Chain A
Amino acid sequence: MQQTIRTIKSMVGIVLFTILGFTYSASGATLDEQGKTVIMVMMDDITLPLIVDKPVPDTTPPAEPHFTISPPSTTYEKSALVEISGEAGSTIYLNSHKIATIGSSGKSIIELDTSGENGNKTFQIVLKDRAGNTSKPLVFTIKKVDDPKYNTEYKGLTLYHKPMDHSAYKLAQLSDADFNALTAAQKRKVADTLLSTLFFAYPLHTLEEKINSGHFVSSVYNGLHEERTDKEWLESYILDDDIFRQYSQWYDPQAITILSRFYAMKELDSYFFKHWSAYILTQTVMFSPAYELESTHTPDIGNVYNRIFHFLDDDAGMRFITYVHMMSEENWRRFRSPEDNGREMLEIFQNDMEDSHVPIAAQALKNWKLNTDGDTLEVGLNDNTEPLHLFGTIIQNGDDFYRELVKTDRFAKTVSRRLVDFFFPDATESKRVQITNAIVSSHPETWQDILLQIIFSKEYLLHNKRTKSAEETFYSFAKKLHFLHRRNSFYIFKEYLDRMHQATMKYKLGKIERVPLDTFSFAYYHKFLREQILVRRSYPDKIDDYDAWGRQGWSKEFVTFDKFAYDENNLEQSLENFINYIFKATIAREATPDELALFKEHMLYEDDEGNTQFEYTFNMFATYDNPDKQATKREERKGYTAILVLDYISRLEETYTQKEVH
């Protein structure tokens, strides 16, 4: 052990010490060429070396670590926590990877990764002290097994299901080979469709790298099954009032937080996908928290959404999730009497419009009511005891009604159809029936089984035409443009969604039309995209001022010179390249000749010698004696060009539309 050095370091750690009545500060301790320890001592502006004797070498290895809290011999969890004891200050290596240091207590808790396939998972822990001495290894094995929850049933209702493998999908999927056979332009379109559907995008160069990898589709699909997000950071980041303004209950803050999260999530991973799935489900008639109603309360937004998210995270089946949701207070605040709730659950999850079934449901629910005291669900003990015929079986009470409802084949067919309608709003009835039947024939038991099957299908990615929702355009443009928000950006987004009649989670019957295209609604959609995002540039000097309007907008990163080819001796070609870059980065195609001509006419002119010149405002190659000023001016002028091009793009129908690929 290097006791000498440690003592000196400890003294140095005090920072101030006194020699001959003067106070000095000291920092750093290094070994000189002779092996002596050197400390740098500072007094005012003078720095002097203080040399101490070479310490005695430490050759004693740390003792073998041992468990103070042992690992399980078997587990079905994705991780396991253990506590080990060992020499304080020594470094812990888990399977050769440095992970932590033993604290002063001589103990440390470490997390073991047991995710992945079932089977034995072997771990080796060694400790290494500062002199590089290594302990004997602690080797142990944990057997990963299937979670017994997957075998859990409640009166015939299976509660948990692993999402099915994509090879079991019956709706034809787009493979990497299919994707790679497309033209470059088609690949960009399809990639944009897939990513924007998921409220995501990549900057152009990153996207092109992924497309050119040859396994774009599978990499996105596989990515949705891996967790890479730092959840702890993310969830505290979006609640940081200095960065994302936290609103009072009058502003439905839960909805704003949910919107903020999609912007803040940087990884398109399993965490992202579960949030996206929960979001999609809460937009539909099935799970809308319906905060437009007097009887619902603001926390219902978070409760419904978060409950679905947690269930998805825990591999709960879609029947179980629905069963719990139907019986929740939040759902009863939406449909508020036995007859109302019974009728609507039959319509929504069975597509059963038979009025004669409603009194049966109401009879089963006769002891359920929404108490006027705080709109509280109250279930009495006076259950119905009369046998009732429904769903081809006999039910008696409310639990029977909800449970037997979700166990039916009709349930799977109805919810599949609802999601097909959501993603194929303009497809013909026969096409929607065909898609639904294909999904149903794959026997989906989880929401992921349906959602993934739809969005990775050939039918969706190649043959579907529909208007993109505002979430799809906003979040994808945000990623494409390196968009920077200000503190209230997501409150504004929520308000605009309301004006577009695309309000999130607000409507009692969900988004009957996901993207209303009446003039008024679309006018707000265009206004939002154009004025809040596309013609708004973020000013670098406002980067740290989250309250400044100047912070919101696309950042300078979007238009840096490394994004496109340029030649200061060929202005016209450089301008064309820049414009084409903006087009490709945003709407996945290059500008047409007439579009290029429009901008060139405005931004270039021919001088007296017949040479093409930039108009002063757009001169991205302007020269100044001061290099900093020159760089600033060049960025500024590229910015003007970009705003005009993006303004034009905001007027294109394709900006708002998912197109078929021909």
Chain B
Amino acid sequence: MKRRDFIKLSLAAGSAILLPDFTYAATLDLSQIQFSSYDTNKAQTLIIFLYGGASQLAGNLTNMDEIKTHSQSDYESYFGDMTKTTNNCWKEAGGSDMETLLGNGDMTIFRSCYSAVRETEDNKAHRLCTLQNQLGTFDTDDGAGGVLSNLAQILEANNVVNVDTLMPFVTMEGESKFYKQGGSPVPSYLKPVGINEDVDNPYKRESIRRWYYYTEAERESAPDSYWKSDDEGGFDPALTAKMDILAQHHNSPGKIKDIFARRKSMSDFMENVLTSSTPDLGDDAYPTNNHFAKKVETAMKLLINNPDTKVLTLGTGSLGGWDDHNEARDYVDRMQNLFATLKSAMAHLKAAGKEQTINIMVFGEFGRNVNLNSAKGWDHGNLQNLYVLGGKGYFNHKGIVGGTKVVQTGEVNRLYLYPKDNTYWFEPLSIAATLYKIYGVENPEVMTDGYGVIEPLFS
């Protein structure tokens, strides 16, 4: 039996998780990937990563009564109202907008993204958990590539993207581990391009239309306008292009050379794609005077206007971090802000007719302990929510999936949510598997330590 068939059969038998370790490798082996078609879904994804590890309580107050009885600090005297919505979301922390999204069939909240592996390995560290989630594997050695680095190579190998594809991967958070290069080199054009919400264009070079950059012949060809803007008849001096060519000839292979090679096209991209307008979204308009909303709006414009972009990643720095060890009151406003923006983003997708193809995934490295500690915050936990929006052409939204129970460990400050008995739950690596799947990978578990896709999204 071929190795590939063995894996397939095991999956069919529902026993992928029992496969021996040697079946999976952190290093991408393209020969192991079964790829069907990108065109079936034409998926595009916005990943919003909640760095610091967001509390799951905004989307899950199911166990709140029990939590309150065990918590070190009193929830209500600190947070005030904690109103439960119909689906037990936290109304004041974005719950109303969550209900709207759930009611429209636009979103699924998974309440049991939990890691049994981390429980065993005694791991609740930011850096390692972030790395694992962004690499899609617990094997975080040097050879492991990031989820999006792997996806880029798979799409290239299957002719979905090529050197003419315009910015297939875009980041608004710097180069996270999603893009970590694994054992094999990733071509320059597959590496992520950075943008920001201000449509600021750092790729554009200023001060090159000074008169001494031009030859006399160039100046004489348009004596009244050569230095002006393109619209006014200006043009770049030939010298600057010659400089680029010669410098690139001398530059050693590597990231800096790659960036210089792409500078001009990125500059044009910034000028053209991001200046497009957002349709009138009426009551669902993006929140104003809000950096995060501006970021998401820019991300949506880019995905809508440039189908070549397959994935865009976005951190939530402009919302503040989610590592709420103390003074967690801000969390309520942050969540409110996040979901008001996501509601607008869904409206934006619908207005553009893209809710079938574009999806949004929101998650972090882990969730949080539910004890409100002495500093009025939450320490690290091991269960989080995954919010999945849009992508309705390939995702079946189920509303709320998964239930939780409270576990009191007996130690001070160690009060956690765990998956309820017999409920659906999944390891965080299944998020990576799901992502691979919607782009056409039929056996994503070969890259995710055997953990398969989040089945309810596809059933």
Contacts and interface: CB of A to CB of B under 8 A. Distances in A.
Interface string B231-265: 00000000110111011111110111101101100
B202 A517 contact: no
Interface string B121-142: 0111111100000000000001
A372 B377 CA distance: 11
B202 A527 contact: yes
A337 B174 contact: no
B212 interface: yes
Interface string B402-416: 000000000111100
A370 B327 CA distance: 9
Interface in B373-428: 373-377, 379-380, 411-414
B250 A592 contact: yes
B202 A523 contact: yes
- Looking at chain A, what size class is its interface with the partner chain? 35 or more
A529 to B, nearest CB: 12
A658 interface: no
Contact of A523 (B142, B191, B263): B263
B326 interface: yes
A338 B247 CA distance: 53
B327 A372 contact: yes
Contact of B207 (A337, A429, A535, A598): A535
Interface in A509-557: 509, 512-513, 516-524, 526-527, 530-531, 535
A350 to B, nearest CB: 12
Interface stretch (A15-23, A267-275, A361-369, A441-449): A361-369
Contacts of B373: 337-339
Contact of B256 (A294, A366, A467): A467
A23 to B, nearest CB: 60
B82 to A, nearest CB: 19
Given A294-B320, A370-B326, A519-B259, A347 B125 contact: yes
B342 interface: no
A337 B252 contact: no
B275 interface: no
A654 B211 CA distance: 28
Contact of A648 (B202, B247, B252): B247
B35 interface: no
B175 interface: yes
A602 B212 CA distance: 9
Contact of B252 (A356, A359, A653): A653
Contact of B414 (A359, A512, A520, A640): A359
A293 to B, nearest CB: 7
B102 interface: no
A656 interface: yes
A355 B412 CA distance: 14
B105 interface: no
Given A340-B379, A353-B128, A653-B254, A647 B243 contact: yes
A417 interface: no
B250 A372 contact: no
A240 interface: no
A520 B213 contact: no
A362 B379 CA distance: 11
Nearest to B195: A520
B413 A362 contact: yes
B246 A530 contact: no
A520 B174 contact: yes
A267 to B, nearest CB: 33
Nearest to B323: A508
A657 B256 contact: yes
A335 B242 contact: no
A487 interface: no
B127 A518 contact: no
- Looking at chain B, what size class is its interface with the partner chain? 35 or more
A107 interface: no
A518 B128 contact: no
Given A337-B325, A523-B263, A356 B122 contact: yes
Contacts of B323: 340, 508
A78 to B, nearest CB: 42
B350 interface: no
Contacts of A128: none
B83 interface: no
A340 B375 CA distance: 10
A335 B374 contact: no
B206 interface: yes
Contacts of B228: none
A501 interface: yes
A657 B192 CA distance: 21
Contact of A520 (B194, B211, B248, B374): B194
A464 interface: no
B247 A521 contact: no
Nearest to A512: B127
A578 B173 CA distance: 43
* Residue from the set A295, A336, A366, A499 with the largest chain B CB neighbour count within 10 Å: A336
A595 interface: yes
A294 B327 CA distance: 10
A337 B380 CA distance: 11
Interface string B314-334: 000100110101110010000
Contacts of B247: 648, 651-652
B175 A516 contact: yes
Interface in A341-378: 343, 347, 353-356, 358-359, 362-363, 366, 369-370, 372
B171 interface: yes
A235 interface: no
A33 B207 CA distance: 67
A628 interface: no
Q: Give me the 9 closest cross-chain CB pairs, A-B, nearest first.
A: A520-B194, A518-B175, A336-B326, A651-B247, A523-B202, A355-B122, A653-B251, A340-B325, A517-B255
Interface of B: 122-128, 142, 171, 174-175, 179, 191-196, 202-203, 205-208, 210-213, 215-216, 239-240, 242-244, 246-252, 254-257, 259-260, 262-263, 266, 317, 320-321, 323, 325-327, 330, 369, 373-377, 379-380, 411-414
Interface of A: 292-295, 335-340, 343, 347, 353-356, 358-359, 362-363, 366, 369-370, 372, 429, 467, 499, 501, 508-509, 512-513, 516-524, 526-527, 530-531, 535, 592, 594-595, 598, 602, 615, 617-618, 640, 643-644, 647-648, 651-654, 656-657
24 contacts: A294-B327, A337-B373, A339-B325, A339-B373, A343-B379, A356-B122, A370-B326, A370-B375, A372-B376, A509-B126, A509-B127, A518-B194, A519-B266, A520-B171, A523-B259, A531-B207, A594-B249, A598-B242, A647-B240, A648-B243, A651-B247, A652-B247, A652-B250, A653-B256
Given A340-B326, A499-B202, A523-B266, 18 more contacts: A295-B326, A337-B413, A338-B374, A340-B377, A343-B379, A355-B122, A359-B411, A519-B262, A520-B193, A520-B196, A522-B255, A522-B256, A523-B259, A524-B202, A526-B260, A643-B210, A652-B250, A652-B251
